[in-house]
Amino acid sequence: MLRSALFTLFMLFYLIPGLKAEGEFSDKEKSIIYTNAVKVLEDYQILINQMGIYVVSDIEKARSSSEGFLELFVNRQVLIYNDLDPTHETLSEFYEAETYTNNIILWYPDGITINLDLENARVSEIMSHENNIYSIDVLVKKSINGNYFNLTFNQNVEELTFRIAFSAENRTLGNFKIVGIRSAASNYMIDFSQALREVNAEDINEDDIVKIQSAIKARLQDYTNFLSLIGDPQEPDEDKEFYKESFLNLFPGTDTRVYNDISPELETSLISVNDYLTTFIAAYPSGINNLSINADSIKFGKVMKNEDGSYYTYIDADKFFSGSYRGREAFSNVFPLIFKITFTAAGKVFSDFRISSVDKAAVDFYQATTETGPAELPQIVIKPVTRKGLGISFIGSFGLTSINNNNIESLSIPRDSVSWNITPLSGFITALGLSYYFNDNFALRSGVEFNTYSAKFNLSGKFGNNILTADVNSDEYYKRIAADYDSLVTINYITFPVLINYTSGKPGKFGFYAESGVKVSISQKASYKCTGSYIFTGYYPDHPSVIQVLDLEELGFYRRELIDETNTMIIKGFNLAVYASAGINIPLGYYSSITLGPEAIIGLTDICSGKGKYFDIFGNEHYHQPTRIKNFGFRISLAYKL
């Protein structure tokens, strides 16, 4: 309904002075409004330049671009200031959007380029209309470069005012459309619906008007009759083929654009009549309930003459439609439509009445109103949506942690008669981030994080050294250790990051991010949990074989089984690590987004630097080597601009 209201009420933006709506929108919402308005103008510039390129190389692509251009407007009857005539002397001051696009192709066969000075554009205050509809005026300079009819160079710089309307319901902004373009130098406000209707209107007597209107009513009756018969499941297929052909013959061609009034959710408001018919048949397989045009609602416009000698006029009419969409969803609505009817005349005979377009109509479409005097020009500097400024983020990460003790990792059976198995375990990070964006892409992020790192050290097997040791009785033996022993080490840190962040694209757009820097961590708690068994015995090579292996406690040997103990460790100082992450940035709106991507934390600091030399399980002494933490994980972050 919002889309319908926008199309229905757009004319009131020029007929009734808008009520100021500044207080109804926050600064952030105003920025969203300005950003969307600028996006419409950017598309306006892109599509005109595309037409200017394609008109030289591929006329069909030029026409295709023109259809995209018309989608920027609330309908194709919107009036546009005629800036295509470089002299502004002989032609109409305004053209319909559809005529304007055709003139680009016809008048500039060697192409045309434009440039909108959007950086210096100004906007008006936001104006409020009925049914949650609002509008703003955007004042912008438009530079033109083209060869008008290959006779006169058009290098004018026009100062134009674009009126852009949008809907806002439940604080959701959408449906940004151009509802008129006028020259800022104009001394009067024109009725943008009526102006073109009165330009070049033909002086036709009452008798001929009656003939023309009667023929048009017959054509509209054919329009509804053929659609009703095509949608009637009781009609034979061979008859429906005749009705389809007859329906298409009501139009100049199968590519004639008509308003898409048969789909509950509009992807494209204007489609070809051929696509319209195909969709109509496919979307209502069980037929339609009702389809009619209210005869009492029909309003006839003035008759005007085309350059080729044919005539045209516009008809306002309410069309009622109801049916079961795709056999499931009940869909019904009343559409105020405007039909453009073309016909030819030979003396007093009027013939070849065709429907050349069907579009959404506007309330009071033919009610003329003008105002004299200079219009107030927009003065407000545009402040579009930007990431610049402070933002907060909530971050969670899960990954695998390696606590790399180089002394343990360097041990090997051939050299040291022992080796450990080290298994990375889960690491968790929760964080509250505070970012400052210098512009839309680069930011500095800090905050506070809570990190949990863990790893498992396993000693499993039978190990024996080759160095003789004397016991309390001075008997020499080789140390033997049989172990199935796990040590789970867990370290909790509080961390303060200092990171540089890059996010691609503009706010509200899908993009990528990359983040890197350093993290400074302070240990809050470190613990280990030991489980398993550990047996220390001695092998006496000089003893008789029956007593070569001894495990007597009085000789210093021991047997520890069913070990299950937990204790704390002391980790002094801080841990300095480098950090890197990259991934995708998914917008949830203009001011919030989710980022997803892998991350890596590489510790630089020896977290056991306060310890002295390392002694292995046999008591052999080793020089101290560093212990560092590595974490590789996947993070998800929710960011919001303050």
Band of pLDDT at residue 267, cut at 50, 70 and 90: low
pLDDT of residue 23: 52
477 and 410 share one domain? yes
Within-domain flag for 379: no
Q: What are phi and psi of 23, to 5 degrees?
A: -70, -15
Domain end, chosen from 171, 198, 225, is at 198
Helix or strand run (H / E) with residue 641? strand 627-641
Among 60-64, 195-199, 359-363, which is the least confidently predicted range? Answer: 195-199
The answer to the question of residue 383 being in a domain is no
pLDDT tens-digit series, residues 555-597: 999 999 999 999 998 888 889 999 999 999 999 988 999 999 9
CA 338 to chain centre: 33
Q: In angstroms, rounded to a whole number, what is the distance separating the alpha carbons of residues 611 and 113?
A: 73
pLDDT given for residue 411 in this prediction: 92
Say whether pLDDT at 314 is over 60.
yes
Lowest mean pLDDT among 192-196, 389-393, 517-521: 192-196
92: domain range?
A: 2-198
Residues 538 and 578 in one domain: yes
User: Residue 201, class by beta-carbon neighbours within 10 Å (0-12 exposed, 13-18 middle, 19+ buried)?
Assistant: middle
Q: Does residue 595 share a domain with residue 480?
A: yes
User: 632 pLDDT exceeds 60?
Assistant: yes
Tell whether 259 is covered by a domain. yes
Query: Helix, strand, coil proportions of the chain in percent (round to 5)?
Result: 20, 50, 30
Tokens of residue 489, six digits: 């080490």
Confidence of residue 443 (pLDDT cuts 50, 70, 90): very high
Are residue 131 and residue 248 in the same domain, yes or no? no
Lowest mean pLDDT of 8-12, 294-298, 324-328, 501-505, name the range.
8-12
**Residue 377 forms part of a structural domain:** no
- Pair 142, 229 in one domain: no
Last residue of a domain, one of 164, 198, 232: 198
Domain harbouring 456, CATH code:
2.40.160
Q: What is the pLDDT of residues 481-535, one digit of tens each?
A: 999 999 999 999 999 999 999 999 999 899 999 999 999 999 999 999 999 999 9
Segment among 142-151, 157-166, 326-335, 544-553 with least mean pLDDT: 326-335
What is the percentage of the chain residues whose pLDDT exceeds 90?
60
Q: Mean pLDDT in the chain?
A: 87
Average pLDDT of the segment spanning 145-151: 93
Label residue 187 by pLDDT band (50, 70, 90). Answer: low
Residues 6 or more apart whose Cβ sits within 8 Å of residue 368: 191, 194, 198
d(CA 85, CA 107) in angstroms, rounded, equals 9
175 and 212 within one domain: no
Q: What is the mean pLDDT of residues 614-626?
A: 91
Position with higher pLDDT, 284 vs 269: 284
pLDDT at site 128 = 82
Residue 621 and residue 511 share a domain: yes
Would residue 414 count as lying in a domain? yes
Q: Out of 136-140, 362-366, 565-569, which region has the weakest mean confidence (pLDDT)?
A: 362-366
Q: Give the pLDDT band (50/70/90) at residue 50.
A: very high
Q: How many domains does the chain have?
A: 3
Say which DSSP state 417 is in: S
Determine the residue type at 612. Answer: G
Measured CA to CA, the distance from residue 400 to residue 443 in angstroms comes to 28
Tell me what pLDDT residue 201 has.
Answer: 57
Residue 610 and residue 528 share a domain: yes
The CATH number that applies at residue 269 is 3.10.450.50
Verify that 18 and 154 share a domain, yes or no.
yes
Distance (Å) of CA 381 to CA 13, 158, 441, 510: 22, 19, 22, 27
Cα dihedral across residues 26, 31, 34, 39: positive or negative: negative
For residues 93 and 63, membership in a common domain is answered with: yes
Contact by Cβ (8 Å): 390, 594:
no
Nearest to 108 by CA among 143, 43, 159, 154: 154
Asked if 401 and 541 sit in the same domain, the reply is yes
Q: What whole-number distance in Å separates Cα of residue 448 and Cα of residue 227?
A: 66
pLDDT band at 189 (very low <50, low <70, confident <90, very high): low
Q: Is residue 376 one of the residues assigned to a domain? A: no
CA pseudo-torsion sign 380, 382, 387, 388:
negative
Confidence band for 372, pLDDT divided at 50, 70 and 90: very low
Query: What's residue 251's pLDDT?
Result: 96
* DSSP one-letter string for 225-278: HHHHHHT-TTS-HHHHHHHHHHHHTTSS-TT-EEE--S-SS-S-SEEEHHHHHH
Q: Are residues 232 and 283 in the same domain?
A: yes
607: in domain: yes
7 assigned to some structural domain: yes
- Give me the pLDDT at residue 460, please: 94
Q: Which of 154, 171, 198 is the last residue of a domain?
A: 198
Flag the least confident range among 67-81, 405-419, 439-453.
67-81
Q: Give me the residue label for tokens 């595309």.
A: 50
Which range among 13-27, 378-392, 521-535 has the greatest average pLDDT? 521-535
